[in-house]
Amino acid sequence: MLDRIAAGGRVLVSHDRRTMIAHFRAHLAAGKSAPGLLIVSQGALIGDVVEAFVYVWALAKPVDLRDQAYYSPSLSRHLFTR
């Protein structure tokens, strides 16, 4: 799946923090690249998630996310100043 996401240049958004981080790390360890991974807590408020994604879309450059995993929505509080 990560190969398909990477080929499409898409950042992966997932609730699966238990296994997706390990898959993402294995993908990178295999010498492959990925546009990024955003892990969203299932308990996160939808408004906070949407706000975080708007910040990412508006302010982040693709290089900021490449080969990185971030937890959302907290990434908007840590990466971007308001």
Backbone angles phi, psi at 33, to 5 degrees: -115, 160
Domain count, the chain: 1
pLDDT digits (tens, 9 = 90+) for 20-54: 999 999 999 999 999 999 999 888 888 888 888 88
Q: Output 80 or 56, whichever has higher pLDDT.
A: 56
What gap in Å lies between CA 37 and CA 16, rounded to an integer?
11
Q: Which residues does 67 contact at the CB level (< 8 Å), separation at least 6?
A: 28, 33, 34, 36
**What is the pTM assigned to this prediction?**
0.81
Domain extent, residue 12, equals 2-79
